[in-house]
Amino acid sequence: MASQQPLPRQNNFGNPFDSGQDPDIWDPPTPPLQKPLGAGPQQTRASIPNQGAWGAPPRRPPPYQQQNPGQMAPVQPQPAAMRRPPKITGAVAGVKRETSQNPSGAKTQQQRGYDKPWLSGVDKGGNGGAQEQKKNTFLYSVYPDGVGPDSELINMLERDVVDRNPQVNFADIAELDDAKKTLQEAVLLPLYMPNYFKGIRRPWKGVLLFGPPGTGKTMLAKAVATQGKTTFFNITSSSISSKWKGESEKLVRILFEMARFYAPTTIFMDEIDAIAGARSSGEHESNRRVKAELLIQMDGVSVASSASANENQGEGERQKNVIVLAATNIPWDLDEAFRRRLEKRIYIPLPSEKGRQQLFDINLKGIKADEGVDWTELVRKTKGYSGADIANVCREAAMMPMRRKLLEGEVNFDEISKMNHDDLDVPITMADFNEALKNIQKSVSQNSLEDYQKWMAEFGCV
């Protein structure tokens, strides 16, 4: 009797009982084919390891590759004309990029129009420009390879460094002489007279600008960023806020560490009442931790806060001055501890008659005005107006000649495009200002002015 030959092993995934194998033992599933990326021979099942051992039947090739039934023709590599073109980074195809001596790609001092110390490494140019830029950043001083646990937080705060010129000078701000002198004394003079500002003459660590809205508090900060050769951080409540527990206070700590690294530094906090409000037992613990960290960094153990401590510091340490410049419209909501750390508290009032006259001159620079305009009458009528209100009045009056010329009848844009600029540049008349004053009202109430004056009399420090 002839010995019975065993049935050949088959892979029949449709019915395992017809394959001649133990029905309790299932073959492992065949991994899917990897789609080829780019040019080159297509990957077949035979070229994948451990595929031939399971006896997987080959797929039927497409008709254009089939030579004989059941036989797969090898796939030829794609010709060079059909291959995927290489990626073009940093340029557009067919356009030549101008090469410069600065390989880092950052703007130079002349291109920025802004002389800032933390970007001085980029201005050196040459082959070492990119390396110098890395050395001058806080991120690479902490993590030499640029990657670390807090690298993402550091990059978030790096974006708050003002690296462009706001183009605002102290001469562009009407009046506010006391505030200008205080800011120059706190920010500008210590840079030029470092040996004088030591001991009891150490620079102020905190300056608070408070007053009604639209009086020039933010403009003063822009002037400091323009004329002061200091690193300028523009910080808002969103800059030091995070949804993750513990990251907000870590952002505060990193902010002041970066400020000391890039010193001399000015940290501007607009609307500081949103960050440094009065603490209470009912507020969330995360807010209390952020405020506590901010208080410690502003005047903690590591900060020289006495005359003898400042006198004993080395020359390099005295150069690491960090000033906090804050602005608010509701100073009575500030916490007492923050009020103490903001050593100079300056009231920015509504403009006086002299200031309103200067505001008209500044806002109407380059605009033609009729000889019949009574400036004394305009100054009298704008009593109680803020600087922003007077700017709105000037803008409204400057639009009146154009409205009379174009918008009284049917507008024909084809004819408008053919008109010369001189046809529309009509001098502003007194009637235009009177009409603008009817449309623009003052934005500050008398009751709020009394609150500011009362707080200034109690807590002010010019």
List CB contacts of 55: < 8 A, sequence separation 6 or more.
9, 10, 11
Rg (CA), the chain: 36
If one counts every other C-beta atom within 10 angstroms of the C-beta of residue 38, the result is 7
Q: Does the annotation list 20 as a binding residue?
A: no
Q: Does the annotation list 29 as a binding residue?
A: no
Phi, psi of 200 (to 5 degrees): -70, -15
Greatest extent of the chain over all pairs of C-alpha atoms, in Å: 132
The answer to whether residues 104 and 98 touch, using CB atoms and an 8 Å cutoff, is no
Q: Does the annotation list 212 as a binding residue?
A: yes
Q: Does the annotation list 61 as a binding residue?
A: no
Q: Does the annotation list 182 as a binding residue?
A: no
Phi, psi of 429 (to 5 degrees): -105, 170
DSSP letters for 370-417: -TT--HHHHHHHTTT--HHHHHHHHHHHHHHHHIIIIISS---HHHHH
Q: Does the annotation list 215 as a binding residue?
A: yes
Beta strands 206-210; 322-328: pairing state: parallel
CA distance 381 to 215: 18
Partners of 206 in beta bridges: 324
Phi, psi of 112 (to 5 degrees): -75, -30
How far, rounded to the nearest angstrom, does the alpha carbon of residue 101 sit from its chain's CA centroid?
27
Q: Does the annotation list 90 as a binding residue?
A: no
Closest CA to 429 of 357, 359, 382, 364: 364
Which sign does the torsion angle of CA 147, 117, 171, 192 carry? positive
Token readout for 325 is: 């410049």
Q: Does the annotation list 74 as a binding residue?
A: no
- Burial of residue 61 (number of CB atoms within 10 Å: 0-12, 13-18, 19+): middle
Q: Indicate the annotated binding residues.
A: 211-218
Q: Indicate the annotated binding residues for ATP.
A: 211-218
